[in-house]
Amino acid sequence: MLDDLAVGLQMMVPVQWNKTDISEKSGPGDVEFRAGLIGRISPALCYGIGVNAVTESASDAALSNNAIILRPIAALRWDATGRLNLGVEVEYNFTPLEEGFDEVSALELKFPAAYKISDAWSAALTYKPRWNLLSEQERNRLELIATFQ
Q: What does the pLDDT look like over 79-93, one tens digit per residue?
A: 999 999 999 999 999
Q: What is the DSSP letter of 119?
A: S
Tell me the per-residue pLDDT of 42-53, one tens digit each, with 9 for 90 and over. Answer: 999 999 999 999
Residues 6+ apart with CB under 8 A from 44: 78, 79, 80
Nearest C-alpha neighbor of 46 from the set 136, 134, 112: 112
How many alpha carbons lie under 13 Å from residue 98 in its C-beta half-sphere? 1
Q: Which residues of the chain have pLDDT under 70?
A: 1, 98-101
